[in-house]
A and B are shown apart, each in its own frame.
Chain A
Amino acid sequence: MSRTVRRKMPSRLRWREQIAAYGFLAPALVLFTVFAWFPILNSVVMSFQKVNLADASKSTWVGFDNYTRMISDPTFVASWSNSFQFAVLSIIIGYFVPIVVAVFVNEMRLARGFFRIVYFLPSAIPPLVGILVWRLIYDPRPGGLLNSLMAGVGIPPQQWLQDVVLVKPSILVMMTWGGFGATMLIYLATLQDLPTELYEAAEIDGASIWQRARHILIPYLRPTMLVLLIVQILGLVQIFIEPLVLTKGGPGQATMTPVFTLYRKGFLSGDYGLAAAWSVMLMIVLGVISIVYLRLTGIGRTSGDR
């Protein structure tokens, strides 16, 4: 690794050099300050208050009460436990789907572009529309779409979204359907950077598709797989719209999630201090996952740091 040579520059010269850069940066800094950093900071402040929205001066400091209430809440453990289960199940159910599809599409000699589009199409559908369509597919009645298909192979009607065991996998299948196309394109782009001579040599040597995948493709994809795994977990911790639209957090507490609970506490119960505590907790968890992500990708490190 090369080391950059740091030379001490006269400060006035550096400021002159950088003033244009800061000028270009200023609009983004202002927007981020107003719409991201200030709300984040305000959330932290609110998490220590009994919030009066109508008159902020009447908000009172309550110390860590909101955090105590958050941890005491019967849905706290369930929400985070569900997030963990969603993350684990998603690795089993959905993580490898885009990889497999990318490998197959990459192997195609004809109509590769067509299949790229076909597999990407679900990602182009607005999530809410997709969820409503899947609600019809998961109709629990004997004449429901999926149940009718199942009946064709002798499987009795299932309560896809009403069964504690089935509800999480059912939601994850739906999410995989909606998301795997975009992820597949990332894998496909990575695969297309693969040195062709390496792959052709394996083909000439008679390696099967499985051998080529195992010894060439998967090792080559491994860094991308790791990064996308973290991105997937980041997304799963924030599951919200699916329980909101499909299950209302049930059956029982099976699909309660931190963001869904945060929404309920803030917008339905009007308990903004408690909701802020949930959001700070969520921010910390997402921050930790993001740090892992940044470490894995090397983003933020300059060549001189390496």
Chain B
Amino acid sequence: MLLVLAFSIPVIAQESTFESPITLPDTVAEGREVTVTVAACIGEDQQEQRDAFDAQLARFSAVYPNVKLERVQYCWNPESFAALVAGGNLPTLFAVPATEYQRLIKDGTAINLAPYFEKFTLDGVFNPTLMALLSDADGNPYGIPEFSYAQGIGWDIAALKEAGYDAPADTWPELGAQAKALADPDTGKAGFAMFMSGGAGGWHWTNLAYGFGATELIRDNGDGTYTAVYGEGPAVEAMQFMHDLRWKDGINALPLDLNSNPTFETVDGRAAIFMSPADGSIGWLRVNMPDVDLTRFGYTAVPKSPDGKRYTLSGGSAQFVFSGASADAQEAAVVYYLWKTLSAEEFAASRVIFQNTQAGGGTPVLPVYAGTVQEAVEAFDTQFITMPVENYQGFYDALNAGEIVLVPEPPFAQDFYTAIAEVLTTVLTDENADVAALMAANAASFQSGILDVAVSK
């Protein structure tokens, strides 16, 4: 999720001793004149950051005089993105959220970056788990990660302490029991909040399904066909869990408003525990609602599944190069982004721009890089921390222990999220809903109505 700062963090960048892992070329596009448009999502009120961005573009043109870089103010949104692609007006270098990675790869909007990864020896520079999400089935990389997060669990520290808990439980069934104990039916206060409707509801529920032990929801048969396998097993248990949170024991542990935002519910004291990626919740609050006292909230990783791992869908954003641009512009765009993020000269300036235009410093997110590059990034970014990171130790412990496992989005993700949200909202509004029957029926209709006909396309 791309975020825009509502205020600027006053930061004076320290000198960096960053050692670049790459060797950049002496010339780009064999010296031919080329213009590259670069998308930048920087708020209207952030003139200082815009100036810093533009200054960096100018420095690149000073190094490569044949390349003219133009900043284009653009924050991704689905409606305008489609029009820009169709009109051939997409910036040469642009960022999209993680939900779009595979679509861009499959529909040819983004170019294959494998030749550049090979030329600049980028293997091992980026977090391999993220690169897997940014690559096609043959392992060709199409995007360069810039930011990534996992789902996690936030909580109202005082509310849990009052009920005798130090932190959210470590498995979903235990967390469910906790949520029941924390709920207050008289006021409508929820013990646990998550997105429950629409695509976001399906997206959140999918994390639960993995947390209950599902290993796949839509099986890729490898021959161009797919099978919906969520109509039985752990996925049904995950849906039953939601049903029981709402109805069992006569206590509703969930927010009554199915369209509520879990973070807002918790911040406003209407929920005790919530599921959300950190950048979209506590990081978002730091950026957009700086008056909220973030020391009130803790944040940890999602509960463990039966095998002890913490499976989670991920999110974030990555940079892509538009296939509709000229070959020279494509090359210049790649070199510019690598120069910007990985050159010793620009590393510090880029981290400052990134930190001042993205989520609050110290938000528990996932490493974008690997090895020494990641170590350098973390060391440099320490100066930007404005969040109470001591409250997020559980997340970091799980991350460092290798317990957090990123799972890719299921095939036909958006259709699936919408379809499963139909079951979710049904079981949350009908106490007598037959969960197993609904899941089986939904999987069957998804198979015949979406998967089978998609194959014949």
Chain A positions within 8 Å of B, measured between CB atoms, are: 50, 52-56, 58, 62, 65, 68-69, 72-76, 135, 139-143, 159, 161-164, 246-253, 264, 266-270, 272
Contacts and interface: CB of A to CB of B under 8 A. Distances in A.
B247 to A, nearest CB: 13
Nearest to A69: B453
B82 A251 contact: no
B388 interface: no
A143 B198 contact: no
Given A140-B257, A249-B198, A54 B109 contact: yes
Interface string B400-423: 000000000000101100110111
Nearest to A275: B82
B245 to A, nearest CB: 15
A99 to B, nearest CB: 33
A55 B197 contact: no
A251 B421 CA distance: 9
Contacts of B450: 69, 72-74
A53 B422 contact: no
Contacts of A135: 259
Contacts of A251: 197, 258, 425-426, 428-429
Given A54-B85, A69-B454, A269 B415 contact: yes
B78 interface: yes
B222 interface: no
A72 B257 contact: no
Contacts of A248: 197-201, 259, 421
24 contacts: A52-B107, A54-B85, A54-B109, A65-B457, A72-B450, A72-B452, A75-B418, A135-B259, A140-B256, A141-B187, A162-B257, A162-B258, A162-B425, A162-B428, A162-B429, A248-B197, A248-B259, A248-B421, A250-B258, A251-B197, A251-B425, A253-B422, A268-B418, A269-B415
Those 10 A-B pairs whose CB atoms lie nearest each other, nearest first = A248-B198, A141-B188, A250-B425, A251-B425, A267-B78, A140-B256, A248-B197, A252-B426, A74-B445, A251-B429
A253 B256 CA distance: 18
Interface string B135-179: 000000000000000000000000000000000000000000000
A125 B449 CA distance: 40
A249 B446 CA distance: 17
B449 A73 contact: yes
B443 to A, nearest CB: 11
B188 A267 contact: no
A69 B451 CA distance: 10
A270 B425 contact: no
Given A72-B449, A72-B453, A250 B257 contact: no
Contact of B324 (A54, A75, A139): A54
Interface in B256-292: 256-259, 270
Given A252-B422, A264-B414, A65 B456 contact: yes
A74 B456 CA distance: 17
Given A142-B186, A142-B188, A264 B108 contact: no
Nearest to B188: A141
B188 A250 contact: no
B108 A52 contact: yes
Contact of A270 (B103, B259, B449, B452): B103
A270 B107 contact: yes
A55 B324 contact: yes
B85 A269 contact: no
A253 B197 CA distance: 11
Contacts of A247: 197, 258-259
Contacts of B323: 54-55
B107 A142 contact: no
A200 B440 CA distance: 68
